[in-house]
Structure formats: C-alpha cells, structure tokens
Structure 1
Amino acid sequence: MKRLDPRTKAGLGAAMALCSAWPSVASAGCGWLDVNGDDVQVAKVAAGKPRVYFVIDRIFKAQCPAAGPICQGKTYLVPGDVVVTGKREGAFVCAGFVNTRGSTTIGWFPAAALAPLPASEREPSDWVGHWSAPEQDIAIKAAAGGMLHVSGDATWGMGDKWRRENGAVHIGQVKGTVRPAGGVVAFTEGDDKTLPYNAGDEDACSIRMVRRGPYLLARDNNKCGGLNVSFTGFYRRK
C-alpha cells in the first residue's frame, strides 16, 4: 500500500475522518488538541529514522496504540518537522502537524522521536499575520499599546458544489481588539466593543487562541456564525 506523506497529502482521508474541527484525523483517541495555554506544547521530529509514522488508535484496532507494524499508520513525518503535542498515552503522544498547503494530520506519535521546543511566542508581534485553515481565515494586526486586532471569516459547505450554486454555504465572522495575556489571545464579541473571554451574553461569539511554533490553534464556542460554522481549528500562517 502506498504511504501517504502528510506534507503533500491530506492525512488518512475521509474513511478515517471524524466529525470534528480537524480536516483529517490519524487517530480517533486524540482528534482534538485542547487550546489551554501551556497544556499544548511544541516539538520537533528528532534526527534518526528517515520516516516516523503516526500510530493507529484502539478505536480502529483494539491492541493499539502500540509499537510494531500492526499499529503503524499510513502517514509519516521526517526529521525537522514541527508538531504540537497534547495528551500522552504510554510511549505515545497526541501530535498534530499542518503542511504548507493546510492539510492537517492529528494522531498518536512515538514520544521518543520528538525533541521538545520552547513555547516562545509571547510577544504581540508573534501573532501578527494571516492565518489559514480549510474554510477558515484569521487576520491579526498590531494595534496601539500592544493590542492586537483580530478579524476572521469562516464558511461551511464551500467545498460542496451544490451548496455554492444554491446559496446554501453558511458563513461566520469574528472580530475584536485584545491584548495577549500569558501566551493566550481570548475575547468575546460585544455589541459595540470587545469583552473579556468569560463576559458577554451566552449567545455571543467567544474565541480562544494560542501560538505554538509555526501554528495558531483556535477554539470558539460554536456561536460565531451560521449552522456548523466554526473557527475552531489548526492554522498555519500564509
């Protein structure tokens, strides 16, 4: 079977994808990397083997995740690739990778193959840029006094020809001006101003973001647009 390179292909494809915010999922057990500040780390695939493969989760094979060919996935990374990491299970850590085209792979990965990197993105300038994920865009610009202006657009159904032709694509927007705090950008949209993350009406759009390595991770409250529209995702700077 042909191996899939996540740097040029879109993960494991629809057959193994879950109904989550992530475009493709290598492992059901870690299909989500939580956006909780220091809970998300960044690491680099260390020198050694020319390819290191993601590992299958137990939802697909009861004996996995485990070492050996029976649990070896189809996607791999190479030395120097940078991932974000979350929870750990035995010898494996939940890792996420986005290639330069925006294709995402998240799954169990051998922890011994990763070298931790410092989470050094703490300055306002570290956030500035145009961040993109499938059907999601977030632009962050510097504002006066160390503030950041955040604006984003997201859609659901844009990849469906019928929805595009029949005006059935759902849209959403997010906008706010906020100061980063503790390596996190988080806010709630108010009627005429940006509110703290835990403030505002229960139906207001709230979003929380962290920066790790080359990535921006975001999670919203599913109230930032039409049905199924979300800014929750794993972004890379354009």
Structure 2
Amino acid sequence: MCCNGLFTSDPPFALAVINRTAERAVFQDDSEGCQSEGKDCATKAYVVPGDTVIISRVRNGYACAFYPSKGGGTAGWLPTRQINLTPIDARTMPERWIGSSSSEGNPRLAITQRLGRLRVTGKAWWPGPPGTHDWPSTHEGKIAGPVEITGRTILYGEDENLC
C-alpha cells in the first residue's frame, strides 16, 4: 500500500525532486492494478516541478511518494520518469542531525547532543479532520531518549535494544 497512514511503515526512504518532464506529476491511486495494469487511477492531488517528495519503494515505473503539506500531506504513486533522486551525503556525522523542527502546529521535535550521544525529545498530536476533534485528541504521543545513527537514519527505542 502507498497511503498516508502506512507510508512510514515501508523504509528505507529517499528524497526526490519533481523534474520538468511535465507541468505536474499527478498522484496515482493505490487501488489494485493501478500501476501494473496501466489503469488510469489519477487522483486530484499533484506536485509541480521543483517540489520535494519523500519516496519509499518503487515498482512498475512508479514510486510510492509522500508530499508533506498543510493538512497532513499526500501519499500515492508518482511516475518515476517525473522524479529525480536527491544525492545523499553518506557521511554520518552526528552534528548533521542536531536541530529541531515542527509541523502542522505540533510542538518541536529536537535532536541534541550531550557527551557524544544524540538524544531526541518531542511531542506530537493529530487532532483529526477540522471540526471533529479538539486537542488533545486520542492521537497523541511523545518521544524522549537516546538515538543511534545507522547509515542515513537514526533509531530510537524504549529499551536497550532500540525496540
């Protein structure tokens, strides 16, 4: 599947930029047969040249892509001919991870370094569609603890095995 709720369950991830082969790259639906049978499964969502997306798996000439935006973003299949992978610096210097970010009104997620170890802290919530939930909703969480760099990702876990 390639949809918002399940996108993060299929690493590894890479960054890609929408190229100029067309005026827009239209997200394709995740319905069975959409890519392999060549059905026209275009959704209303699209990205334009220069937009950056996160991609996970690739199959049959399509990449599962996520475009973060207000309201949570969009996930779906994009034609691989319309994306260019962003080169990645494979060096795993800890200082490249240090910083903080926030999205959609969530509090900040921060990665800090102390005594040579990286640590993550943060909170997040998803209040649901407008008008249906008030914060705090049932979709909330927090994170705090050490992280371990593994290639292009960091691992966090609540026990000594990072599980």
Q: Aligned in 2, Cα 1:189/1:74: closer, same or farther, shift over 3 Å?
A: same
Q: Distance in 2 between matches of 1:188 and 1:74?
A: 38
2:113 is matched with which residue?
142
Shift of 1:72: 2.1
Find the counterpart in structure 1 of residue 31 from structure 2: 58
Matches of 1:161 and 1:36, distance apart in 2: 31
Contact 2:10-2:56 at 8 Å conserved across structures: no
Partners of 1:163 and 1:83 in 2: how far apart? 28
The Cα of 1:164 is off from its aligned counterpart by 4.0
Q: 2:2 aligns to what?
A: 30
* Matching residue of 1:10: none
Counterpart for residue 83 of structure 1: 53
Contact 2:10 2:57 in 1 (8 A): no
Change (3 A) 1:143 1:169: same
Task: For residue 33 of structure 1, give the secondary structure of its aligned residue in structure 2.
Answer: helix
Superposition pairs for residues 1-238 of structure 1, below 5 Å? 29-31=1-3, 32-34=6-8, 39-59=12-32, 64-65=34-35, 70-99=40-69, 101=70, 103-120=72-89, 122-134=92-104, 135=106, 137-145=108-116, 147-155=117-125, 157=127, 164=134, 169-170=137-138, 171-189=140-158, 195-198=160-163
1:125 offset after TM fit, Å?
2.6
1: CA distance, partners of 2:22 / 2:94: 37
What amino acid maps onto 2:17 in structure 1?
Answer: K
Structure 1 alignment gaps of length 5 or more: 1-28, 199-238
**Are the counterparts in 2 of residues 92 and 111 from structure 1 also a CA contact under 8 Å?**
yes
What is the deviation of 1:107? 0.3
Q: CA deviation at 1:127?
A: 2.1
Cα deviation for residue 156 of structure 1 reads 5.0
**Could you tell me how far 1:130 is from its partner in structure 2?**
2.2
The alpha carbon displacement at 1:78 in A equals: 1.3
Give how far 1:36 is off: 6.6
Q: Is contact 2:29-2:76 (8 Å) kept?
A: yes
After the TM superposition, which of the residue ranges 79-88 and 122-131 deviates more from structure 2?
A: 122-131
Q: Deviations over 1:147-199 (max 9, x none)?
A: 2221011235477768648xx63443211123423222223235xxxx3313x
TM-score by length of 2: 0.75
Q: CA-atom RMSD, angstroms?
A: 3.1
Change (3 A) 1:114 1:186: same
Work out the CA distance in 1 between the residues paired with 2:144 and 2:134: 25
Contact 2:14 2:56 in 1 (8 A): yes
Tell me, in whole angstroms, the C-alpha distance in 1 between the residues paired with 2:57 and 2:28. 14
